[in-house]
Structure formats: structure tokens, C-alpha cells
Amino acid sequence: MTTIEPIRHHKRTADASSWRLALLSLATASFGIGTTEYVVMGLLPSVAADLGISIPRAGLLVTGYALSVAFGSPFLAIATARFDRRRALLSLMAIFILGNLACALAPSYALLMGARILTALCHGAFFGLGAVVAAAIVAPQRKAQAIAMMFAGLTLANVLGVPFGTAIGEVFGWRKTFFIVAGIGVLAAAALYAWLPRRLPIAPMDLAREARSLGHVQVILAMAISVVSSASLFSVFTYITPILEHVTHISPRGVTLMLLLFGLGLTAGNFLGGRLADWKLIPSVIGLLALLVPVLCIFAVTSANATPAAATLLAWGVVSFALISPLQTRVINEAAQAPNLASTLNQGAFNLGNAVGAWIGGLGLTAGVAYAQLPWIGASLAVVALLLALAAYRLEMRSRCLAPAFSGLDQL
């Protein structure tokens, strides 16, 4: 059976240098992928005006991307199943580069949508496989921190890549933004080629074994927590701009500063989650979800005033993104004998949660829920995720208690 083991080097200093560079290459790729996913939100008016479509129709470019990640990425992971893991990552980056070039050159809305769907295919597959690789190239006690390092690129995309890409699009046209993102993809591919170990301690995907790993109860529970926790975030965050404008009553410039603050919270939470998960994994998930519920309830009150709203947004960003690397690590650990497809599907689970959360928030608004009340919906979803995490913990404790008993029977 194939298990994930860290790479061993003869010199500790060489080992530290090699895995840090490898993680940096993965983080660079995740920065590019995160930028292309979210930057289109800031470019929607420019895209709509250039292609002669309405902004709501242009907004479907966001939905199409998320659904492609959720449902298309596993097929791409399967298509690269026979590749060694280094070659698979480089192939996925090649698709990313071609997809962004196609976005920049697309002469029509239909072709732009097709290019976005193509680009999104590599998203879940890259993050899923990248998380497995990140966990494999470090010592076991650093797994979650390594995954958090890779996801740091995604958080920095929100803090730096999206605002910079939006500004470029406003000044030079939205197509230039996608050309620049394609350039980031080229840099990331070069870094992966130079810094990823030639021999990764991960066998090519065994589809039969991978499929069996998906049936494990703890894998299913971890993915369910990923969906619901992500839905909790996006049921509110999708509508954060109108909340800040109409409830908090701040200017568009103030909204930008608030989102920057939220992005800083995401970045801090990403590294915090990695450390917590390497310390106590499932208890950390439970603790973070237990914190997320009151934070969202508090935001329902503090959103009426700028200063307390800013403090709550920062706390919300920290807690919500601190869940990402622990949940990804949980899936990899529970599917340890065949983690590739499970890790990719968990990325789809996060994106499915994004779409479901936005839909639930929209349903609430259509039913008459005020913007200020949306955090209550997010808190309710966080409670569901907390109950799932408690169920996973209870099952884990029960299996640990039963293990010695079965071991004793085997010795009789």
C-alpha cells in the first residue's frame, strides 16, 4: 500500500532549503490560480461593456468557474492519474497558462466562458494534488503547516493579486490582466520545474484504491464540513459590498479598505490554522467552528458601525480561513492510502460550498431577509458544520476505544 512519507536528505540544512523552495513554487502557482479566480469580479463592468452583455450575465463567469472546479476537476485528476505527481502538476500549470491566454484573446462571451471553464479545471486538481505533495515533502509534524504555506498564495491573491489585477484592467483593459496572470503561470511553472523534487514519494494514482478511499465515513464527513463551512462564509461574503454600503454606510473606498482588512485576516488565519492542525487536528476544527458561530452573530450587530464592523471582519477572516488547511489535512490523513482524488474532491467541496452559500444568501434576500441579518444565516450554517465536526470526533474516539479490544481478540 502506498503511504505518504516525507523526503529524507542526508543534510538537515539541504532538506530545509529544498522543501521550502518546493513549497514556494506551489504557493506561487496558487497565487496565480487565486488571482484568476477572483479578479474577474472586479473586471465585470469592463468585460460586460467590451463584450456587449449585461453585468448579471457577465457574473455567470464566476458561477461557471466555481461549478467547473466542483464538478470538472476530478475528471482532470483522473486524466493525469498515470503521470508521476511532478509531471501532473506541470501539466496542470500548462492548462492554466493556456486557459488564461484564451481568456485574454476571447472575442466573444461564449468563448470567454469556455476559457474560464478550461482554466477552472486545473484549479481543484492542482490544489488537491498540491496539498498531497506539500504534505509529502515535509516531516509528518509539519503537514498542515506545509499545506497552509501552499494556500498562502491563495490568500495573498485576495490581498494583492485581485486589487492589482483590477487596477491593471481599469487602466489598460481587462484583457491585459489575463495576460499578466498567464505570465504568473509561466513563472510558477518554471519554479515548479526547478524546485520540485525529481522523485516525489507519491505513487501515481490507483483509481480503484482512490475510489475505495472515498467511501470512508471520516472522508465523507470531512468533505461535508468543507461544503457547509464554505457555504457559511459565502452566504455572507458574497453580499459583503452591499452590507458595507447600505448597513455600515461607508464609501466605495472604505469598502476596499475593509476588504483589504478581511484579506489580511484570511492570511493570518491560514497560517494559524496550519499550526493548530499540526497540534490537534479535529479539536482545532471544532474550536474554530465554535468561534465562528459567535463571530458571525456579533457581525449581525456590529455591521451597523464602521469601527466595530472592521474589527469583526478581521476576526471573521482569521477564523474562517483557519479552517482550510485543517480540513484539507483531515481529508488527506483519512484517505492516506489513496489521497489524490479525495484531496481534489475536497477542493470541489469548498467551491460547491461557495456556490451553495451564495445561493442560500440570495434566497434569503429574495424572501425578505435584510442585509444586516445575513450573518445569522452564516452562523446557522456554521452550527451545522460544528455538529458534523463533533460527529467526526465522536466516531474517532469510539474507533480508538474499540481498537485495543479488537487487538486483544486477534491475540486470542
Kindly state the DSSP code that residue 141 receives in the 8-state scheme: G
Q: What are the φ/ψ torsions at residue 349 (nearest 5 degrees)?
A: -65, -40
Q: Which pLDDT value is given to residue 204? A: 61
Q: Which pLDDT value is given to residue 372? A: 92
Instruction: Give the C-alpha separation, 351 to 64, whole Å.
Output: 11
Written as nine digits, the cell of 32 is 496565480
- In a structure prediction context, what are the per-residue pLDDT tens digits for the chain, which is 412 residues long? 344 444 444 344 346 667 889 899 999 999 999 899 888 877 877 888 899 988 778 877 877 888 888 888 788 877 877 778 888 899 999 999 999 999 999 999 999 999 999 999 888 889 888 888 888 888 878 888 888 888 888 888 877 887 788 788 888 999 999 999 999 999 999 999 999 888 776 666 666 676 676 778 888 899 999 999 999 998 888 788 788 888 999 887 787 788 888 888 988 998 898 888 888 889 999 999 999 999 999 999 999 999 999 999 999 999 998 998 899 888 888 876 667 777 778 888 888 888 888 888 888 888 888 989 999 999 999 999 999 999 999 998 887 776 554 445 444 4
Written as nine digits, the cell of 230 is 464554505
Query: Alpha-carbon dihedral of residues 359, 365, 368, 369, nearest 10 degrees?
Result: 100
pTM of the model: 0.77
Q: How many residues does the chain have?
A: 412
Q: Which pLDDT value is given to residue 11? A: 42
Contact assessment for residue 135 and residue 23, using Cβ atoms and an 8 Å cutoff? no
How many CB atoms are closer than 10 A to CB 204? 15
Domains of the chain: 13-200 (1.20.1250.20), 206-405 (1.20.1250.20)
Query: Alpha-carbon dihedral of residues 228, 233, 234, 235, nearest 10 degrees?
Result: 80
Helix, strand, coil content of the chain in percent (nearest 5): 85, 0, 15
